A and B are shown apart, each in its own frame.
Chain A
Amino acid sequence: MGIFLKSLNEMHQMLVNREISSLELTKAYLKSIHNKEPQINAFISINDEFALKKAVEIDGKISSGEEIGVLAGIPMALKDNMCTEGINTTCGSKMLENFNPPYNATVTQRLYEQGAVLVGKLNMDEFAMGSSTENSGFFTTKNPWNKERVPGGSSGGSAASVAGGEVPYSLGSDTGGSIRQPAGFCGVVGLKPTYGAVSRYGLVAFASSLDQIGPLTRDVRDNAEVLNAIAGYDSKDSTSIYFDKPNYTQFLQNDVKGLKIGVPEEFFAQGLDPDVEKIIKKAIKTLEELGAEVGTCSLPHMEYAMPTYYIIAPAECSSNLARYDGVSYGLRNPAEDMIEMYKKTRAAGFGQEVKRRIMLGTYALSSGYYDAYYLNAQKVRTLIKQDFDKVFEKFDVLVSPTTPNIAYKFGDKSDPISMYLGDVYTIPVNLAGLPGISIPAGFVDGMPVGLQLISKHFNEGILYKTAYTFEQNTDFHKSCTGLLEEV
């Protein structure tokens, strides 16, 4: 039937023209999910009943002649750190294994209002801490391109489910690269919006000044359609920004003439796999041939981005995860007194990486060390942000590899620091609050390579225009075809 090759707009047309019903579409995707899950393991929970009910509801609207939006009646899935009322939200952690949220995240609510059909919740590194989904408290997710390799993380389930044809789109969250990196590893399009562009209300917090929710899709147009639904000011999130929200699809033009593209030399230094570098350089050449003006630039403080992040993020996480105390929700390990209960509950509920980051963060914020570590890291963060501000005076978009290598094999990065180093190109973008997108740009050893584009605050439009132009002049976004085929 090739339904899995259809874009959101194509499926929407089919629904409106009554060529297919939402019920049929949802059933087809659910069948795909159940057939493919034994090999991919992208989902923590699948909700057939809930999904079919919503599909029928949308079919009712269509048959009564009601106008429906692009996302209506079409299945999707959410990373399991986004609250869905009545549906367990685990954050990939034993701490919240049976947590049933009493409310919907704003992004959940906005997608529901568009008529989106939630089919399930997606696997992730526990509390969004990790870059391979190996830190999930439950099981690992496999990269649909090669089952022995990681899908990336922390939104591994979000990327794998889209690449594997289980859902046409998903939402992930990105704190240091957790949307873009798995998107790169799995050959899909993943956008981290400007900080404050998408509400964090109902997103289980990891690092409050860095977290953002964004869409993962097979192509750029689909990504813009989903961003349209979820972006925009939310009074329930005090870090949400009031901005003039555009219709993001208006930027989907095949034209980069005169676009000034900056290539930061620090992103092409030691550590970058030579084969990945070739692919990225070729992609930059393609954009240049299409009329973009490419020039080199420098972000002098980039080497300090990783250590800065690995002080700030754990510090914020230690604060955000203090709430998991066994008192009012989540896991509780009983004890004779409160402190023992806290200690036992948290010891049992959290995995290694989470504990490590809580410890690191607590130390960095503790009396006597706060100035030397946390405060100093925040000052370096200012320097990093200023680097970007300077560069954006001359350039419209920056380009880099999304990751230094292709997806690695399970267990390859057991040492924490070697895992952290994979985020070297994505982390600076979160520190500066900028929007960043990863798009498929080629293959090395049969594994996808992601190209990252970065722009100024609230300039998702330029990212989409550049990405769309690249996509229209190459075929990499169509490569998932083999994986998407109906099972």
Chain B
Amino acid sequence: MKISSKEVEHVALLARLQLTEEETLIYTEQLNSILGYAQMLQKLDTTDVVPTAHAVELYNVMREDVVKPSMELEKVIRNAPDEENGFFRVPKIV
């Protein structure tokens, strides 16, 4: 299953990455190489195998629904690239 340059462009959009034309070509080649290597996983019969998401099993890790203080606003906005009155200012979305 080879990945085309067009698909790479689509994946870049999904990942919100802006690639140059040159980068698109290089990544197409490299991704094909890595995915080609990953193809060997198809050789295995995994029909009745349960997938492992976590090596050491944990289920439903919960805590008591008790309100605790959140991080102080000053700390939250400390690293903001653009901030006003405790809000993060961003370019228009639509």
Q: Which A residues lie at the B interface, using CB under 8 A?
A: 98-100, 102-103, 194-196, 209, 235, 238-239, 241, 301, 303-304, 306-308, 310-311, 318, 322, 325-332, 334-344, 346-347, 350, 355-356, 358-360, 362-363, 366, 372-373, 375-383, 385, 416-417, 430-434, 457
Residues of A within 8 A of B51 (CB): 375, 378-379, 381-382
Sample (28) of A-B pairs whose CB atoms are under 8 Å apart: A98-B79, A194-B56, A239-B54, A239-B58, A241-B56, A304-B40, A328-B79, A328-B88, A337-B93, A338-B91, A346-B16, A350-B17, A356-B27, A358-B17, A359-B17, A360-B35, A363-B35, A377-B38, A378-B52, A379-B50, A379-B52, A380-B46, A381-B55, A382-B50, A382-B51, A383-B44, A385-B55, A416-B34
B16-A416 in contact (CB<8A): no
CB nearest neighbor in B for A355: B17
A-contact 0/1 string along B18-49, CB 8 Å cutoff: 11000100010011011101111110101001
B54-A209 in contact (CB<8A): yes
Residues of A within 8 A of B66 (CB): none
B71-A103 in contact (CB<8A): yes
Interface residue? B67 (CB, 8 A): no
Residues of B within 8 A of A340 (CB): 91
State the Cβ distance, B15 to closest chain A Cβ, in Å.
4
B55-A432 in contact (CB<8A): yes
Residues of B within 8 A of A304 (CB): 40-41, 44
Q: How distant is the Cα of A25 from the Cα of B63 in the complex, in angstroms?
A: 43
Residues of A within 8 A of B52 (CB): 378-379, 381-382, 385
Q: Report which of B14, B23, B38, B82 forms a contact with A366, defined as CB distance below 8 A.
A: B14
**Taking chain B's interface residues, is the majority helix, strand, or loop, or is none over half, making it mixed?**
loop
Q: How distant is the Cα of A308 from the Cα of B71 in the complex, in angstroms?
A: 38
The answer to whether residues A332 and B82 also contact, given A338-B93, A342-B16 and a CB cut-off of 8 A, is yes
Q: Report which of B14, B41, B81 forms a contact with A308, defined as CB distance below 8 A.
A: B41
A338-B56 in contact (CB<8A): no
B91-A359 in contact (CB<8A): no
Residues of B within 8 A of A457 (CB): 56
Residues of A within 8 A of B77 (CB): 328
Chain B interface category by residue count: 35 or more
B19-A362 in contact (CB<8A): no
B79-A363 in contact (CB<8A): no
The answer to whether residues A338 and B79 also contact, given A307-B41, A379-B46 and a CB cut-off of 8 A, is no
Residues of B within 8 A of A337 (CB): 91-94
State the Cβ distance, B81 to closest chain A Cβ, in Å.
4
Q: How distant is the Cα of A35 from the Cα of B76 in the complex, in angstroms?
A: 37
State the Cβ distance, A92 to closest chain B Cβ, in Å.
17
State the Cβ distance, B72 to closest chain A Cβ, in Å.
8
CB nearest neighbor in A for B82: A332
Residues of B within 8 A of A385 (CB): 52, 55
B79-A366 in contact (CB<8A): no
A307-B38 in contact (CB<8A): yes
State the Cβ distance, B35 to closest chain A Cβ, in Å.
8
The answer to whether residues A373 and B38 also contact, given A356-B30, A378-B52, A385-B55 and a CB cut-off of 8 A, is yes
The answer to whether residues A417 and B33 also contact, given A359-B17, A382-B52 and a CB cut-off of 8 A, is yes
State the Cβ distance, B21 to closest chain A Cβ, in Å.
13
Residues of B within 8 A of A334 (CB): 91
Q: Which B residues lie at the A interface, using CB under 8 A?
A: 1, 3, 7-8, 11-12, 14-19, 23, 27, 30-31, 33-35, 37-42, 44, 46, 49-56, 58, 61, 63, 71, 75-82, 88, 90-94
Q: Report which of B23, B71, B79 forms a contact with A100, defined as CB distance below 8 A.
A: B79
Residues of A within 8 A of B76 (CB): 102, 328
With a 10 A CB-CB cut-off, give which of B16, B19, B27, B92 has the most chain A CB atoms: B16
A196-B58 in contact (CB<8A): yes
CB nearest neighbor in A for B43: A304
State the Cβ distance, B53 to closest chain A Cβ, in Å.
6
Residues of B within 8 A of A335 (CB): 91
Q: Report which of A338, A347, A363, A376 forms a contact with B3, defined as CB distance below 8 A.
A: A363
Residues of A within 8 A of B8 (CB): 359
Residues of A within 8 A of B7 (CB): 363
With a 10 A CB-CB cut-off, give which of A100, A359, A373, A379 has the most chain B CB atoms: A359
B91-A341 in contact (CB<8A): yes
B44-A380 in contact (CB<8A): yes
Residues of B within 8 A of A416 (CB): 30, 33-34
Residues of B within 8 A of A235 (CB): 63
Residues of A within 8 A of B41 (CB): 304, 307-308, 311, 376-377, 380
A350-B17, A382-B49 are known contacts; what are 6 more A-B pairs with Cβ within 8 Å?
Answer: A330-B81, A339-B16, A341-B90, A341-B91, A360-B34, A372-B1
A359-B37 in contact (CB<8A): no
The answer to whether residues A433 and B75 also contact, given A327-B88, A338-B93 and a CB cut-off of 8 A, is no
A338-B90 in contact (CB<8A): yes
Q: How distant is the Cα of A477 from the Cα of B27 in the complex, in angstroms?
A: 42
CB nearest neighbor in A for B72: A102
Q: How distant is the Cα of A310 from the Cα of B50 in the complex, in angstroms?
A: 19
Q: How distant is the Cα of A136 from the Cα of B39 in the complex, in angstroms?
A: 30
A362-B30 in contact (CB<8A): no
CB nearest neighbor in A for B8: A359
A378-B53 in contact (CB<8A): yes
Q: How distant is the Cα of A396 from the Cα of B4 in the complex, in angstroms?
A: 48
Q: How distant is the Cα of A359 from the Cα of B29 in the complex, in angstroms?
A: 12
